[in-house]
């Protein structure tokens, strides 16, 4: 189970693919190196989050390095005249596509889990607001303590408490507070 901060770190890495494709479109001479650097950074992010697909990303980076050394990756077809540049570019695009698809699949399960927790939190906060349990919205003086107080209030209520257990089961106690904060900021303060 990834924490929200880790999910967002990986999502930010994935957002970098767009810039890399823009570099390719602009025929940037640093495109090859930037993609290899991006893949290496993605490896580190996945490794630090103990995601086992780290090795697959390393393999994709190795595929690019092999193509730069003149080795045509297995199963890759080059139409027209086969130049080293075409082989390298095909290996790069293949690697970006594979790594993007793989990481998106990993993230989807995590994003779905967070979405479930957010949905339950919205329901709990609507019920708490209707019951008059939420009188004070955190204003920034001691924001974390106010969030903990609200969470404790929700957890102590006999009708709402089981829902807080569900949320903590989905995301853990720290991320439960992050979700609480975000839902209050987006829904209750408007």
Domain boundaries, the chain: 4-111, 112-188
- Token pair recorded at residue 188: 């209750």
* 190: pLDDT strictly greater than 60: no
d(CA 38, CA 24): 14
CB atoms within 10 A of CB 24: 17
For every residue of 115-172, DSSP letters joined together read: HHHHHHHHHHHHHHHHHT-------SSSHHHHHHHHHHHHHHSTTTHHHHHHHHHHH-
Q: Which residues contact 31 (CB under 8 A, 6 or more apart)?
A: 20, 23, 24, 92
What pLDDT does residue 179 have?
A: 97
The reported pLDDT for the residue numbered 140 is 60
**pTM for this model (two decimals):** 0.84
In this predicted structure, what is the pLDDT of residue 148?
Answer: 92
């Amino acid at each position: 189970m990834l924490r929200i901060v880790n999910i967002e770190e990986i999502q930010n890495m994935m957002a970098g693919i767009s810039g890399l494709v823009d570099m390719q479109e602009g025929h940037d001479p640093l495109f090859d190196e930037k993609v290899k650097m991006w893949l290496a950074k993605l490896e580190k992010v996945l490794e630090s989050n103990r995601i086992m697909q780290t090795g697959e990303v390393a393999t994709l980076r190795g595929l690019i390095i092999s193509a730069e050394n003149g080795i045509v990756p297995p199963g890759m077809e080059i139409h027209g005249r086969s130049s080293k540049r075409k082989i390298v570019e095909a290996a790069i695009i293949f690697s970006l596509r594979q790594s993007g698809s793989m990481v998106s699949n990993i993230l989807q399960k995590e994003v779905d889990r967070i979405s479930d927790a957010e949905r339950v939190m919205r329901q709990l906060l609507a019920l708490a607001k209707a019951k008059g349990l939420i009188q004070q919205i955190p204003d920034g003086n001691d924001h974390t303590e106010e969030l903990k107080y609200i969470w404790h209030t929700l957890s102590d209520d006999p009708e709402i408490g089981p829902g807080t257990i569900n949320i903590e089961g989905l995301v853990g106690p720290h991320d439960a507070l992050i979700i609480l904060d975000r839902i209050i900021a987006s829904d209750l303060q408007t």
